[in-house]
Homo-oligomer: A and B are copies of this chain.
Amino acid sequence: MSSFIHPTALVSPQAHLGEEVYIGPYSIIHEQVEIGDYSRIGAYCEIGLPPGGHETFSASYPLKIGAHALIRSRCTLYAGSTIGARLECGHGAIIREESLIGENLRIGSGSIIEGHCQIGNYVRLQGNVQIGKGSLVDDFVWIFPNVVLTNDPHPPSPHLVGVTLKAYAVIGTASILLPGVTIGAHAVIGALSLVKSSIPEKMLAAGHPAKVICPAHHLRDYLNPGKRAYPWPENFDRGLPWENQAFQAWLAQLQESPTPEIKQTSP
């Protein structure tokens, strides 16, 4: 019922805050920002910054942030994107304009979504990830530290050719994805790989340049070599909709259901 706005925060009277929203010290909330119920915004955040620099501080279009957001200190979110419920940001993350972002995005400290991106549900970006303009990232994709999704085929050029990551794909630490590549569903890219061409679904690829090594399910579990390590949802469920349930059972249920259960998970 009651929100808390730190007395040092600068909140536009035109911003729409839901119920029980917390705004931390020295944060700035611009006009035309909508923040969903039970959201928490740490210190020094700037939310709803108009694109195109600081020419004007009147937002030309809204920023919508769903309920239960947890935005840690020093984040910068531009006006003009729509973000689903339960966004969780590390420190200093940046989300630029005109992106459409699903529910349960976790974006690590220092990571940047450049704008004009489409990001699915339950996507996880770890620290210092850079998602170039025009990228498409499906549900349940994991991206580890320092990965860059590029978009210029011969930089600098006027062309914009985004990367596509299909559902459940895993991109290992510090891998660089060149413009236009598609990583198939459940594919796994090893650390520090240079991905110059598309990788089929369910494959493990790695190297400089990345090459397909084997089906990802050939990898064994670290502690239990009798078990396969991939598809990863069989072994990992923390914070995911199949938590405390078998992934395959959840998946079967999802496919039978006329409306996708994923949209209905409670916090």
Contact = CB atoms under 8 A, between A and B. Distances in A.
Contacts of A49: 42, 73
Nearest to A219: B154
B144 A235 contact: no
A127 to B, nearest CB: 5
A25 B153 CA distance: 39
Interface string A22-62: 10111010000000000011111010010001110000000
Contact of A232 (B88, B156, B178): B156
Interface string A89-125: 0011010000000000000011010000000000010
B130 A145 contact: yes
A137 B238 CA distance: 28
Given A46-B73, A159-B222, A144 B154 contact: no
B194 A157 contact: no
A208 B232 contact: no
A159 B235 CA distance: 10
A259 to B, nearest CB: 27
A223 B156 contact: no
User: For chain A, what secondary structure do more than half of its interface residues adopt (helix, strand, loop), or is it mixed?
Assistant: loop
A142 interface: yes
Interface in A202-259: 207-208, 219, 221-223, 229-230, 232, 235-236, 238
Contacts of A8: 8, 10
A158 B124 CA distance: 15
A176 B172 CA distance: 10
Contact of A26 (B26, B42, B142, B229): B26
Nearest to A230: B154
Contacts of A144: 150, 155
A43 B46 contact: yes
A15 interface: no
A244 B145 CA distance: 39
B25 A10 contact: yes
Given A25-B26, A54-B70, A161-B222, 4 more contacts: A40-B55, A44-B44, A73-B76, A148-B174
